[in-house]
Structure 1
């Protein structure tokens, strides 16, 4: 091959190499542009929370896909459809229906590793049959602060703006009660208190029930409300404190867990605790002789805080999704009875 031919051959090879490199670069660029970005967050998984039996009802509410979004919780779907057992991210069992055997645990069909949630907002005194539930449940949802999913009956949250005016007060003390049993401490305290303080009793126990929309307006007319729990247990502070008293705009006189527990939820000067007095007569005298300026100090919290109630079971169940990423995997309550009734 002469020098001219050799030179042409070299140029052709160079062109071929450049063309090949350009083709590879084009292919790589097209692949890069068409590939999904790496390292970015994966689309969030929508958690399926299966409620095996809706609390206190054989007819569960409608549960549209935006149910939890309405409570500020995204990517969370509540369902009562038993066919979702195999795919649910967690299954919820409310204890009352297990206790009455309206619902049964589908142990034979339980998917391996599926978290089960035991739920109760009742006190240990009214919770039975826990002995047969050991070694089954992974998480607990209750009013107890040491629960995996802690859902109180209410809480005080920051509030800006003027506090709503206090309702006008016409009478001294009110108590709404349906379950009235002489063995209960609250009934014993009431019996001791009544001779020394005017207490108007409403509810089925006194054959004066109040309609759902009548309770708060009625209680609001009173200076004090007897927020007496049916039993005294750890963290057991119910709507008797949050709704019937604080939300109504009256001062709660509380009988329940120790004062320190109430102070973990509310300011120390937002309530009167029965245990602060040696006798019921001493308590009655304290309430009856309170002047107006002293009384109004019990509402100082309203300038910066407001009551938020948690009474909707849908909101309680949506809270499972909020806690889900942080819940302990592999945990099992081997002695559920021992834990709850401690």
Structure 2
């Protein structure tokens, strides 16, 4: 079938270049594993669960001078119906900074000529329901603020470059959500418990280090590291992972209490000098409540997660990075030293003093972001991103019209294609030790490295589908099998 020209086509691109910009379908092998989607105690999967949506139904945007009637506006389709940030109904007019759009979660408009962009939620996306073939007049937008483990296909270049606009935790994305778990600077300067009280709790039997996880066997393999660290320092471990101690009452064991900022739960955490804050996935700028909550209560985070985390910290102390130490034994020795030296320990809490936040990047990023966290005076980032897409699409329509009217003097609109830096998370590696030293029946080894590379198989299969103008997304596995047969092996 002959394919009509698309705004995604660039006249100067080689055949491989056209191949790149026509990638427009993905699924996640991780979604086939129930464990990867498990919601358990002490593991909040997404900050979305904490956003108040009760008041967003009448959100219209900042307003503009767009006088067009609704039937003249471009349509933005939310493909993930469960994430549609408007209620009630399935459609809404939004009046954004520069232009207006109609937004809907009704898939019946997928083929409409006015439907200019489709927004996908990375975690919910399913290969078998992707709109194929990709229509030449539509852009694709990705909203994915969750862990990289939820959809590893986005960590591969063939997976991410099918999108034109992105809102991810990476600062390089079009609409960054990097500080999604940090409400404000005031959140960080919340007073910490006095060190003499923490010393008293130590005398009463509290360990210097807290670990609280019930989501085990995750890509970062954090439990393997903690298990080795336990050989050298006392750690109170609550939850199902490496459990060695019970919480003081049954109320604190409740999942909703443990994952929300319940006052009793937060007061319990603040008794510990150190909090093992380890993300379930490793990726630049992926930082969750596991980091910000210990900073809030004044339990120094012992952190592993984003390799770029220092860029966002209040000052040069604030946290202790696990990867700064050659081994768990060396880390334990340093924590023991701090536990026994109050003056040295208190350096990690100086950011809570007036003027203690020295990081201009952190301050400016919080000041400049247009969305708020549980702040009803600002849009939440779902509404913010759809307005970003709306304004981008209206601009594109104007440029296309101008180019059509004056093709020799007005260039065609620039094509936006997401790059690897918009997600680009690395292959999972063991939390401690060498992968060659892990036994073959190890649960982590049997799941996550394979999941990561199988997602690349899927991405390449999807590329092949698009090149052949495939209309049935259910044939994905046939395409993958063809690729495997030709290459002789999986990745």
- State the TM-score, normalized to the length of structure 2: 0.48
Report the Cα distance in structure 2 between the residues aligned to 1:88 and 1:220, rounded to whole angstroms: 50
Instruction: Point out where structure 1 has 5 or more consecutive residues left out of the alignment.
Output: 1-40
1:230 counterpart residue number: 280
Report the Cα distance in structure 2 between the residues aligned to 1:111 and 1:230, rounded to whole angstroms: 36
2:325 counterpart residue number: 277
Report the Cα distance in structure 2 between the residues aligned to 1:154 and 1:59, rounded to whole angstroms: 18
Higher strand proportion: 1
Report the Cα distance in structure 2 between the residues aligned to 1:149 and 1:242, rounded to whole angstroms: 21
1:42 counterpart residue number: 65
Select the structure of larger CA radius of gyration: 1
Report the Cα distance in structure 2 between the residues aligned to 1:121 and 1:230, rounded to whole angstroms: 14
After TM superposition, the structure 1 = structure 2 runs for residues 173-252 of structure 1, keeping only pairs within 5 Å, are 173-181=209-217, 184-205=220-241, 209-214=253-258, 215-243=265-293, 245-252=294-301
What secondary structure does 2:312 align onto? coil
**RCO greater where, 1 or 2, for CA within 8 Å and sep 6 or more?**
2
After TM superposition, the structure 1 = structure 2 runs for residues 240-319 of structure 1, keeping only pairs within 5 Å, are 240-243=290-293, 245-258=294-307, 261-266=308-313, 267-290=315-338, 291-302=341-352, 303-304=354-355, 315-319=380-384
Report the Cα distance in structure 2 between the residues aligned to 1:62 and 1:217, rounded to whole angstroms: 35
- State the TM-score, normalized to the length of structure 1: 0.66
Match for residue 121 of structure 1 among 132, 135, 145: 145
Match for residue 181 of structure 2 among 154, 176, 180: 154
What is the CA distance between 1:206 and its match in structure 2?
A: 5.1
C-alpha spacing 1:230/1:146, structure 2 compared with 1 (3 Å): same
Report the Cα distance in structure 1 between the residues aligned to 2:344 and 2:136, rounded to whole angstroms: 60
Report the Cα distance in structure 2 between the residues aligned to 1:44 and 1:299, rounded to whole angstroms: 53
What is the CA distance between 1:181 and its match in structure 2?
A: 2.9
What is the CA distance between 1:254 and its match in structure 2?
A: 0.6
Structure 2 residue 87 is the aligned partner of structure 1 residue 63: yes
8 Å CA contact 1:177, 1:204 repeated in 2:
yes
Report the Cα distance in structure 1 between the residues aligned to 2:161 and 2:305, rounded to whole angstroms: 30
C-alpha spacing 1:186/1:135, structure 2 compared with 1 (3 Å): closer
Which stretch shifts more, 299-308 or 148-157? 299-308
8 Å CA contact 2:80, 2:121 repeated in 1:
yes
